[in-house]
Amino acid sequence: MAKTYAWTGLAALAALTVAAATPAAAHHSTAMFEWGNETPMAGTVEAVEWTQPHIWIWFQVPNKTGGLDRWGIEGMSPSYLSRVGWTKRTLNPGDKITMGIYKLKDGRNGGFIASAKFSDGHVVRHVPGRPAAAAAAAAQ
Amino acid sequence: MKRALFLAALLAAATPAVVYAAAQVMPRAAVDVREKSKQWPSPQGESWDAIKKLPDFGGVWSAPLPGQDGPRAPPNPVPSYTPAAAAKLKAFNDSKARGENTQTDKANCTPFAFPSSMGIYPIEFLFTPGKVTVAIETDSQMRRIYTDGRPLTDDPDPTFQGTSVGHWEGDTLVTETVGLVPAPQMEIVAGVGHGDKLRIREKIRLVAKDQLQVEWTYEDPDVLTKPWTTTRIYLRHRDWDIQEYNCAQNNHDAADDKGRPSMRLDK
C-alpha to C-alpha distance for B103 and A31, rounded to whole angstroms:
9
- Residue, of B267 and B226, whose pLDDT is higher: B226
C-alpha to C-alpha distance for A130 and A126, rounded to whole angstroms:
10
Using DSSP's 3-state secondary structure scheme, residue B190 falls into: coil
Provide the residue type at A97 as one letter: I
Best residue in B106, B118, B186 to probe A by mutation, most A CBs within 10 Å?
B106
Q: Does the distance separating the beta carbons of B79 and A21 come in below 8 Å?
A: yes
Give the mean model confidence (pLDDT) for residues B71-96.
93
Q: Given pLDDT bands bounded at 50, 70 and 90, which one contains residue A74?
A: very high
Sign of the dihedral defined by the CA atoms of residues B150, B154, B157, B163, in that order: positive
Q: Does the distance separating the beta carbons of A70 and B112 come in below 8 Å?
A: no
How are the residues of chain B apportioned to helix, strand and coil, as percentages rounded to the nearest 5?
25, 25, 50
User: What percentage of chain B has pLDDT greater than the value 70?
Assistant: 81
Q: Among partner residues A17, A52, A58, which is closest to B250 by beta-carbon distance? A: A52
Residue A134's closest CA among A95, A103, A111, A100?
A100
Give the mean model confidence (pLDDT) for residues A18-32.
55
Burial of A34 (0-12, 13-18, 19+ CB in 10 A): middle
Q: Check: CB of residue B145 under 8 Å from CB of residue B152.
A: no
User: Can you give the length of chain B in residues?
Assistant: 267
Provide the residue type at A86 as one letter: W
How far does B176 lie from chain A, in Å, by closest CA?
Answer: 18
Report pLDDT for B74: 85
Q: Given pLDDT bands bounded at 50, 70 and 90, which one contains residue B24?
A: very low
User: What percentage of chain A has pLDDT greater than the value 70?
Assistant: 72
CA dihedral B60→B66→B69→B75, nearest 10 degrees, is 100
- Check whether B65 has a pLDDT greater than 80: no
Report pLDDT for A140: 41
B85 touches chain A (CB under 8 A): no
Chain A positions with Cβ closer than 8 Å to B: 8-13, 16-29, 31-32, 47, 49, 51-54, 56, 58, 70, 72, 74, 77-80, 82-83, 104, 108-110, 128-129
Q: According to the 3-state scheme, what is the secondary structure of chain A?
A: CHHHHHCCCCCCCCCCCCCCCCCCCCCCCCCCECCCCCEEEEEEEEEEECCCCCCEEEEEEECCCCCEEEEEEECCCHHHHCCCCCCCCCCCCCCEEEEEEEEECCCCCEEEEEEEEECCCCEEECCCCCCHHHHHHHHC
| R_g (Cα) of chain A, nearest Å | 15
C-alpha to C-alpha distance for A14 and A128, rounded to whole angstroms:
11
Task: Please state, as a whole number, how many other Cβ atoms lie within 10 Å of the Cβ of residue B234.
Answer: 29
Instruction: Determine which of A22-26, A64-68, B121-125, B139-143 has the lowest per-residue pLDDT on average.
Output: A22-26
Provide the residue type at A67 as one letter: G
Give the mean model confidence (pLDDT) for residues A67-85.
94
ipTM score assigned to the predicted complex: 0.76
Q: Given pLDDT bands bounded at 50, 70 and 90, which one contains residue B48?
A: confident
Q: Given pLDDT bands bounded at 50, 70 and 90, which one contains residue B224?
A: very high
Number of Cβ pairs < 8 A linking chain A and chain B:
147
Angle at B184 between CA B260 and CA B77, to 5 degrees: 100
- Check whether B125 has a pLDDT greater than 70: yes
- Residue, of B85 and A11, whose pLDDT is higher: B85
Report pLDDT for A134: 47
C-alpha to C-alpha distance for A86 and A80, rounded to whole angstroms:
9
Give the mean model confidence (pLDDT) for residues A27-37.
86
Residues of chain B with Cβ-Cβ distance to A23 below 8 Å are 115-116, 119, 187-189, 216, 230
- Residue, of B204 and B72, whose pLDDT is higher: B204
- Residue, of A31 and B43, whose pLDDT is higher: A31
Q: Among partner residues A25, A32, A80, which is closest to B263 by beta-carbon distance? A: A32
Residue A115's closest CA among A105, A102, A106?
A102
pLDDT digit string (tens) for A77-132?
A: 999 999 888 999 999 999 999 999 999 999 999 999 999 999 999 999 998 765 55
User: What percentage of chain A has pLDDT greater than the value 90?
Assistant: 64
